Structure 1
Amino acid sequence: MVTKTHGNRDFGDLKAMPKPRDTAPKVTVNNISAKWTEESPNPTLQNISFRLKPGDLLAVIGPVGAGKSSLLMTILEELSVFEGSIQTVGSISYASQEPWNFNNSVRNNILFGTEYNESRYKRVVEVCALKRDFQIFPFGDKTLVGERGVSLSGGQKARITLARALYRNSDIVLMDDPLSAVDTSVAEHIFDKCIVDYLCNKILTHQIQFIRKATQILVLNDEGKCLGLGSYDELQSRGLDFMTLLKDESKETTTPVTTVEDKNLVHLDRDSLMRSFSMTSVEAKKDRNLTKSSASITDSIDMANMDFMDADESDDPHIQEEQRESGSIDSRVYWEYVKAGAGPLLAIFGILATLSSQTIFHGSDLFLTAWTDKNQARGHSTDSAEQRMDVYIYSGLIGLLFVTTFIRAITWFVMCMRASVNLHNNIFIRLLRAPIFFFDNNPVGRILNRFGKDLGVIDEFLPATSFDLNIIIGQTIGIIVVLGLVNPYLVIPAIFIFAIVGCIRAVYIKSARDIKRFEALTRSPVYSHVSTTISGLASVRAYGVQESFERQFYVYQNDHSATWFTFVGTSRGLGLAIDWFCVAYIIIISLVLMIFPDGIPGGSAGLALSSALMLTGVTAWGVRQSAEMESQMTSVERIIEYSRLPQEAALTAHDSRKPPPDWPSKGRIELNHMYLFYEGSDKPVLKNLNFIIKSGEKIGIVGRTGAGKSSIISALFRMVEPKGEIVMDGINTGSIGLHDLRCVLSIIPQDPVVFTGSV
């Protein structure tokens, strides 16, 4: 038994609480008041009470914003109740108002982690009018729906969501306007086969006489208060004209209303009444064994026995993998990065700052060595004037080194900052102009991965790594020159050490580069899974499949952690191998200085030994940083990949092809032999459409779910470029700019979009 009293729910608890199996299903709502936020001055629901026992059907009616959906959220424990209590016994299924589907097959969206029962599955598919859809899907019910169900029509998404609620075979079924996106003919089939037959008394139909079948009707006003609770006859006997609420809502949704004169009642068409209800029903399930969830959400089930399945097992679809480059980073990637960060003048200035800074750095060391050797040759005799001059010169070199190093750093990081900004702006513009099919085929996690992690690497890590490498290269060349000036023999072991370290780096970089690419790829599913789970969190909790989604998250996260751990491990192994050879090099330098003690002055010997120590550290750090930079350049590679995204047609056309300022003045639309193909498909969605819409006409487009009604709108807006002609007021829309076309059209989309901010 799950009991909810006033107080906030702990949303951190993702596990479904166990329900006893020896108690009849029921729902008891005792004087609850609820609101979405504590800061809200007015409660969403106020003083609501009812009790449902097995076999009861509660129909909740009210105007828009009355709190019908909020009441279901309180039963699902998604809305905080600050007064009263809710008690539910039995398993719950939930069909949400906004259909939610995850990126997997249609079948797995219906099963949702439960075991496959062929007879029940086929029955649910039949009553939800999905059989015909499975026949036209390229892979039947194994067809991938895409993230957010982008490959499905609105009606198909709604019916799959409904099928998920029915297949669960739960004690309590919550339906929140599940058929709002379904056309009339399909809605009639679902009402007849699903609601009247399969669910019996679980939900109301559009006819007045069916309202009488509800054991209780809860009437809410626009303040979330209960206007009445009882059966149809009881409410009528009290003189409560609750049907007026449906009339008001039908006007709100611009649904036609007709009057039945002999009964003085309002008769609504099927869609109007369906959209006025949020239904809660409890079915008696005595002596029933509930099906336990034992199958993974991503399990594959053999569908060979399904008579409406023709897809071959070997041809099962697979989720499109993110593209991965292989091999070494192309030199063009480095050039694109440099070109994005620096113009010719800035690049030349940066090179001069680097050369001058490094020359002064090693020049000061050579001057200090000469100064020391000179004092050693003189013994204890010193010339104070000459000493002061040496101090002034050395101080001047140090001051000049500070200035040039500062200019070098500022120039470098300005170049990196410009590169990051330009790369971001470039792919952002390209993404805004990318065609719709790109967003249909790429989960939001992939896009967020590029803009989040990859750009984060370019912003935060690549500048420091590349600057370190810039310093390391300059210091390495300078140290080799210094060692050659002290004793040419000291250069020979350095050459061998560089050759060995270079071989080690070559072996390391082959693995580290690809491991870093794999790490970037394994990060995208984590983002996508979290995004999908959050968007459907109410359904995930309602069905009690939190553990399945947690396990899937752990799978994705473990894959990413494994690649990251491998990358870190290879980096540490590289460092250890280099340290061994660097120690060997220091020993060789020490032996050379011991062999020629008399030929090398003390200052020069000290400079050679300190330079050797510095060279070993610089070499080890340089190899790590060069490998790290190449790994980080994979982020630049992935960003540049998005800079080559396909683009929509031009926003504006040439002046000679621009429509007149008053276009369109009449609103006449003509389609001539119009075909529409979606990306990657050679089968047209719309075939040879020819019709004329005259000025002032109001046209209704009818057709079965998935017939292409929304595709006509996509063609009019050129979201997908059609073949053939669409002529508006004598101008072919395919010959003008997209901005010129879309700024004169308006649309109320099938899936409403609300932006952050006030109404």
Structure 2
Amino acid sequence: MDGYNIYAGYYTFLTLTLTITIVFPFATFSLSQVIIAIKRMQTLVHTLETHSKRTRRTVKTETPEVEFSNVTVIIDDKTIFENVSLHVFSGLTLITGPTGSGKSVFLLTMLKEFEISDGKLFVDGRLSYASQEPWLFPASIKQNILVGNNYNHKRYQEVLHVCDLNYDLDLLENGDSTIVVDGGVNLSKGQRSRINLARAIYQNSDIYLIDDCLSSLDPLVSNHIIKNCILKLLRDKLVFLVSHHSDLKHHAANILNLRNGNVNTRKNYLSNDVENDNPYIIPRIPNTLVKADITTSIDFETEKLNETTKTNKIYAEINKSGSVPLKVYTEYIRMGGGKATFLGVFCIFIVTQLLVSYKDKLISNWVNLEDKISRNNHTIGNVSYLHLVEDRNQLLRHYTGAVVGLSVATLIRGWALFQFSKRISVSLHKRMLNCVIGASLQFFDTTFLGNIVNRFSKDLDSVDENIPFPLNNLISIVFETIGSIILISSTNIRLLLPIALLFVSLIFLRCVYIKSGRPLKRLDVSTKSPVLGYLNATLEGVPTIKAFGAEKIVTKEFETHHNLFNSASYSYTATLKAFVFVADVFASFFVAVVILQFVIFDRDVLPGNFGLAISQSYAIYNVIFYGMQKWVDLETQMTSAERAMEYTTIQKESESGLEIENWPNLGEIKYENVCLSVNESGSYILKNINFHIKPNGKLGIVGRTWAGKSSVISALFRLYEIKGRITLDGVDIKTLSLHFLRSNISVIPQDPLLLSETLRDNIDPEQVHTDEEIWNALRTVGMNKIISTLNANIKKFEFSCSQNRLLCLARVLIKKKKILAVDEIVEHVDTKTENLIYNIINEHFKFCTVIKIAHRLKFVLDCDKVLVLDNGSVVEYDSPETLLKNQNGLFYKMYNVLL
């Protein structure tokens, strides 16, 4: 066989091998990803959408109105209400009903968030909606109120006044320019509720749907809003208000009571119309609607919501520059098992490359041997010919062994690198997760959800998938290049000069590229944070967004963030492709120089050596062209590892401390000059707090919103660093292990938390109680009648806000701890549920120390002491009886507030 034909057949076989083993599997993998992505998108696209437009009458009415005509709503095979008919034109309509009766669903049905199973619903008029759980998005307070609408100074100031926000804005350092973090956790629940309400009121709408926004407010603020907002500013509007505020019944034109799927309607004494006997029809009340045209106000200012720039600043991160530090690479190797492990993987690469070079050298010798055989006499008995044939057979046996050894070495190399990379990914993810979960609340107060999700998604994805492959290719290419240079120089030493020139050129090119490639990659990953954060905030507030008709505004904002991300991503990709193109040109010149070298100067070279030089020059072309790409790709992708590792250095809460057996056994609590700050500015939320709770004592904490009530519990759990001293049974809590301290105190937070897990996991997360104990707790709180199994996952909206609180109460019942802290547990609950909770705490926690935070002062009247806070300081502290005798005291004024 001719030597050149051997090389031609060999490289044809290599091309076929490359196509079958790499190109085809990669194409199949990419196709499968596309198919999966399309199917996932189809699932989302084919999801049933609610109608964006409410049904309107054929003949347009002059006044706003809402009419239910035999409406039935069924959710998850459960009938919420059935055959409801009512007709409302104007005035205040108060919606009441027991826990889980469907009050919020009734409002959301008017918003078309729930499909009507039967009947017709007519809604004529522009809607505003204030949700039960306040929805705020990461932006300034002012932006949260405006939501993309034109700024009208007069209307804006009026809304701040009727929602009693001026006092709170004066307390904030930046006023209404204060940035609201995810979920508004840097604000109190009352502040979030009033900002949520202010957004709805700022819209000059015809119909207002207000879902129990008064429950999270203290009596003074609640009274102010009812008088100035509900009864005065909105007196000529059509208002649906969900509330358990008993005094409102005397001011409502109509009252709807939801119970057992029915809507019982009665007209208040304010109306003199009694001719309608249908219990589901509300008579038409004369409407004196006066529409204020805010766009013609003399104080009108044009201030379009420019969220893009401000939101980018919100999600902005520390922009690093320059090369990735060497410590990132060393830490990356250490997570994989350390230098010894990496050296072992490195040795496997060396062995693999030695077998590759040996195999290629055998091919060259085979070609030369075939050339010698073809020149010898093929006559039988020719000793030289027989020796050459035997050498060829021996060479082919060596070649076969080299191929088999190479196959085994390649498999071992792939497995070793996979295990190395897997260990890095698992270790990095675990350390990031532990640091984030163990971080103090200050971290979450200053870090937005979009930034956190971005580190755990895009950055970790790069560490998992985009670093191991370039690393594997780069190490392989380094050894392939060294082997190719040795083989080429063995044929002609002069070829080292063009190789050196090629390397110098490509190194220079790489230095030019990396100056733009690294910052573009950092920009690529950082611009993903606003996309994730904005999407998350939007999904949480879909009902509010639809109610305001702000879909186009939200979509435009999202597109702006996404376009910015796409621009950064495209710039990075385009720059990389430009580098690859120029490197390709340089490598092509190198191959041309090698070929010309043999064609012009070394025409008598053996065909094996010529083929070896040409094949290895193409190999150098490929490895350098591909290797330089992977080199710069690896360094730019390491910026993601650098970003991910930043989350492994987050300062965690201290886990050290004492653990005392049978503690606490009395439940005595003392606060001595306690100060608490939630940021580094030095401003204190709590200022020199002093009080003493005797064993088994009951303490009530009241005060205006943002007075620092919840911060008292935060200090008890050491959620923030405190100054002063807090002792439990004489033990300073600073000396205790955080886990030990927190696990020995039961708490029901203001925002009840239920995970999307089974009911058993939510009630007994540590899995230490029996089914009977769990069912007894559910029976005590009255939830056993609506729960059929403990092993079903909790669905969103499956339980009402009040029912969530009852489940949280069941959780603390089975724990049976000596100390219980409850924060606004009777918020959003009806009178019957309030009395149930009141009795459960009095009966089951009689011999426990209980701290109660409440706006409904009835809940704290049975306490031994009441702590009245204002602006973080104690203004009153005594028994409820004594405080009620002081007519100039804040507690007396809160208790005796009247509409």
* Range class of TM-score, shorter chain: 0.7 to 0.9
SS at match of 1:700: strand
SS at match of 1:512: helix
Cα 1:534–1:598 change in 2 (3 A) is: closer
Residue 681, structure 1, aligned to residue 719, structure 2: no
CA distance in 2: counterparts of 1:207 and 1:633, whole angstroms:
58
CA distance in 1: counterparts of 2:272 and 2:654, whole angstroms:
59
Residue aligning to 1:560: 565
- Matching of residues 501-650 of structure 1 within 5 Å: 501-650=506-655
Residue aligning to 1:428: 433
SS at match of 1:481: helix
Describe the superposition over 1:227-272 as per-residue Cα deviations: whole angstroms up to 9, x where unpaired. Answer: 444446999999x9x9xxxxxxxxxxxxxxxxxxxxxxxxxxxxxx
Cα 1:9–1:326 change in 2 (3 A) is: closer
Residue 41, structure 1, aligned to residue 77, structure 2: yes
Give the alignment partner of residue 50 of structure 1, picking from 77, 86, 91: 86
Residue 216, structure 1, aligned to residue 211, structure 2: no
Give the alignment partner of residue 370 of structure 2, picking from 364, 369, 375: 375
SS at match of 1:690: strand
Which shifted more, 22-31 or 390-399? Answer: 22-31
CA distance in 2: counterparts of 1:557 and 1:317, whole angstroms:
12
AA partner of residue 644 (structure 1): T
SS at match of 2:752: coil
Give the alignment partner of residue 445 of structure 1, picking from 450, 459, 464: 450
SS at match of 1:80: coil
Cα 1:17–1:571 change in 2 (3 A) is: farther
SS at match of 1:44: strand
**TM-score after normalising by structure 2:** 0.73
CA distance in 1: counterparts of 2:627 and 2:56, whole angstroms:
58
CA contact (8 A) 1:23 1:89 kept: no
- Matching of residues 171-250 of structure 1 within 5 Å: 171-200=206-235, 202=239, 211-221=249-259, 223-231=260-268
CA distance in 2: counterparts of 1:237 and 1:85, whole angstroms:
25
CA contact (8 A) 1:434 1:647 kept: yes
SS at match of 1:434: coil
AA partner of residue 590 (structure 2): Y
The unaligned stretches of length 5 or more in structure 2 are: 1-45, 280-284, 378-384, 760-899
Describe the superposition over 1:271-291 as per-residue Cα deviations: whole angstroms up to 9, x where unpaired. Answer: xxxxxxxxxx99754565475
CA contact (8 A) 2:151 2:304 kept: no
Which shifted more, 199-208 or 704-713? Answer: 199-208
Describe the superposition over 1:723-747 as per-residue Cα deviations: whole angstroms up to 9, x where unpaired. Answer: 1100110100011110111011111
Which shifted more, 638-647 or 439-448? Answer: 439-448
Residue 153, structure 1, aligned to residue 188, structure 2: yes
Residue 67, structure 1, aligned to residue 62, structure 2: no
Residue aligning to 2:49: 11
Residue aligning to 1:357: 352
Cα 1:116–1:185 change in 2 (3 A) is: same
CA contact (8 A) 1:96 1:161 kept: yes
Residue 82, structure 1, aligned to residue 117, structure 2: yes
How far is 1:44 from its partner? Answer: 1.4
Cα 1:402–1:758 change in 2 (3 A) is: closer
How far is 1:175 from its partner? Answer: 0.8
CA distance in 1: counterparts of 2:287 and 2:481, whole angstroms:
80
SS at match of 2:66: strand
Percent of counterpart pairs with the same letter?
A: 33
Residue aligning to 1:272: none
CA contact (8 A) 1:57 1:214 kept: yes
Residue aligning to 1:298: 306
SS at match of 1:93: strand
Give the alignment partner of residue 97 of structure 1, picking from 122, 132, 137: 132
SS at match of 2:86: strand
Residue aligning to 1:255: none
CA distance in 1: counterparts of 2:734 and 2:211, whole angstroms:
41
Describe the superposition over 1:475-498 as per-residue Cα deviations: whole angstroms up to 9, x where unpaired. Answer: 111111111111110111010011
CA distance in 1: counterparts of 2:339 and 2:328, whole angstroms:
18
How far is 1:694 from its partner? Answer: 1.1
How far is 1:140 from its partner? Answer: 1.3
Residue aligning to 1:268: none
Cα 1:734–1:176 change in 2 (3 A) is: same
CA distance in 1: counterparts of 2:54 and 2:709, whole angstroms:
40
How far is 1:109 from its partner? Answer: 1.2
CA contact (8 A) 1:56 1:282 kept: no
CA contact (8 A) 1:726 1:733 kept: yes
Cα 1:515–1:150 change in 2 (3 A) is: same
CA distance in 2: counterparts of 1:457 and 1:531, whole angstroms:
22
AA partner of residue 213 (structure 2): P
Describe the superposition over 1:108-148 as per-residue Cα deviations: whole angstroms up to 9, x where unpaired. Answer: 11122222222221111111111111111101111112221
How far is 1:371 from its partner? Answer: 2.8
AA partner of residue 608 (structure 1): A
SS at match of 1:726: strand
SS at match of 2:748: coil
AA partner of residue 648 (structure 2): S
CA distance in 2: counterparts of 1:664 and 1:393, whole angstroms:
78
AA partner of residue 64 (structure 2): P
Residue aligning to 2:343: 348
Describe the superposition over 1:655-698 as per-residue Cα deviations: whole angstroms up to 9, x where unpaired. Answer: xx432x21111111111111111122211111111211111221
SS at match of 1:701: strand
CA distance in 1: counterparts of 2:736 and 2:286, whole angstroms:
57
Which shifted more, 198-207 or 343-352? Answer: 198-207
AA partner of residue 45 (structure 1): F
SS at match of 2:197: helix
CA contact (8 A) 1:172 1:283 kept: no
CA distance in 2: counterparts of 1:683 and 1:28, whole angstroms:
52
AA partner of residue 665 (structure 1): N
AA partner of residue 78 (structure 2): N
How far is 1:214 from its partner? Answer: 2.9
SS at match of 1:485: helix
How far is 1:198 from its partner? Answer: 2.2
CA contact (8 A) 1:9 1:77 kept: no
AA partner of residue 155 (structure 1): G
Describe the superposition over 1:55-113 as per-residue Cα deviations: whole angstroms up to 9, x where unpaired. Answer: 33322221111111100010001011110111111111111100111111111111222
CA contact (8 A) 1:143 1:317 kept: no
Residue aligning to 1:140: 175
AA partner of residue 602 (structure 2): P
Residue aligning to 1:246: none
Residue aligning to 2:774: none
How far is 1:342 from its partner? Answer: 2.5
CA contact (8 A) 2:138 2:311 kept: no
CA distance in 2: counterparts of 1:667 and 1:365, whole angstroms:
80
CA contact (8 A) 2:54 2:111 kept: no
CA distance in 1: counterparts of 2:319 and 2:143, whole angstroms:
28
AA partner of residue 221 (structure 2): V
AA partner of residue 219 (structure 2): T
> How many residue pairs end up in the alignment?
690
Which shifted more, 113-122 or 338-347? Answer: 338-347
CA distance in 2: counterparts of 1:316 and 1:427, whole angstroms:
25
CA distance in 2: counterparts of 1:470 and 1:747, whole angstroms:
55
C-alpha RMSD of the superposition: 3.0
Residue 327, structure 1, aligned to residue 326, structure 2: no
How far is 1:216 from its partner? Answer: 2.4
CA contact (8 A) 1:44 1:224 kept: yes
Residue 714, structure 1, aligned to residue 722, structure 2: no
Cα 1:753–1:591 change in 2 (3 A) is: same
CA distance in 2: counterparts of 1:170 and 1:608, whole angstroms:
81
How far is 1:152 from its partner? Answer: 0.7
AA partner of residue 27 (structure 1): V
CA contact (8 A) 2:84 2:263 kept: yes
Give the alignment partner of residue 461 of structure 1, picking from 466, 479, 485: 466
